[in-house]
Amino acid sequence: MLVSGYADDRPGRDADEYRERCVRDFPADFGDVATNAEPAGEVATYHQADSRRRDFHTLRRFPARLVAAGDAVASFNPVYGQGMTSAMLHASCLSEYLCGEPDLAKPALSYFKDVKVVVDAAWQVSTMADLALPHVDGPYPRGYRAIQWASGLIFKASMRDRKVNLRLGEVTTMLAHPSSLTSPGFLLRALAAGARA
């Protein structure tokens, strides 16, 4: 089980503090597990200062028969649980590239172009959520306020409407692209559910 904090709120290695946080910050079941179950090991801490992406698709020169995948391409705030799924999707891009019988004497540019689609989607979801944190002060992308308004609406509606909840879950677990949340029909459904709430 993972507890997280931002800025000066840093979970430490102390087992009692870990249990306290599980009781205080999560629904009761999690606190019960942390209090009553036997720990599998010591509490381990991990600090992540930034999300980082390397845009290989913009390179003009790159060696043939060499690709990068997973965190070597982009790493995100781990609380959103995107890294392993991203790495799997990069592997899927590589499979697609190799099945297309490419000229292996040339750089794998079409692979990196496909990887960009995966990175852009994950980046959009995690950086938008990070920008909403109280200690973060930008820089905010163009249209940020509209996106924040729409996200708030969709999250609120997802508590009332099963279809909105399912679609949002598909996007946060990377089964669907974030653009699937922006179709007019979906936004109208979210608006209606939000109004009912």
Ligand X SMILES: Cc1cc2nc3c(=O)[nH]c(=O)nc-3n(C[C@H](O)[C@H](O)[C@H](O)COP(=O)(O)OP(=O)(O)OC[C@H]3O[C@@H](n4cnc5c(N)ncnc54)[C@H](O)[C@@H]3O)c2cc1C
Residues within the interface to ligand X (CB under 6 A): 46, 70-72, 75, 78, 81-85, 87
In the complex, least distance from residue 86 CB atom to ligand X, rounded to whole angstroms: 6
Comparing CB distances to ligand X, the nearer of 52 and 106 is 52
In the complex, least distance from residue 75 CB atom to ligand X, rounded to whole angstroms: 6
Comparing CB distances to ligand X, the nearer of 91 and 197 is 91
Q: Which residues contact 63 (CB under 8 A, 6 or more apart)?
A: 107
Comparing CB distances to ligand X, the nearer of 7 and 46 is 46
**Which one, of 143, 144, 193, lies nearest residue 168 by Cα?**
193
Q: E strands along the chain, which residues?
A: 52-53, 74-75
In the complex, least distance from residue 162 CB atom to ligand X, rounded to whole angstroms: 25
In the complex, least distance from residue 18 CB atom to ligand X, rounded to whole angstroms: 14
Assess contact for 71 and 83: CB atoms under 8 A: yes
Comparing CB distances to ligand X, the nearer of 4 and 151 is 4
In the complex, least distance from residue 19 CB atom to ligand X, rounded to whole angstroms: 19
**Which one, of 50, 47, 23, lies nearest residue 37 by Cα?**
23
Q: Residue 191 half-sphere exposure, CB side, CA atoms within 13 Å?
A: 8
Comparing CB distances to ligand X, the nearer of 153 and 171 is 171
Preceding peptide of 63 cis, ω within 30°: no
Residue nearest to ligand X (CB): 83
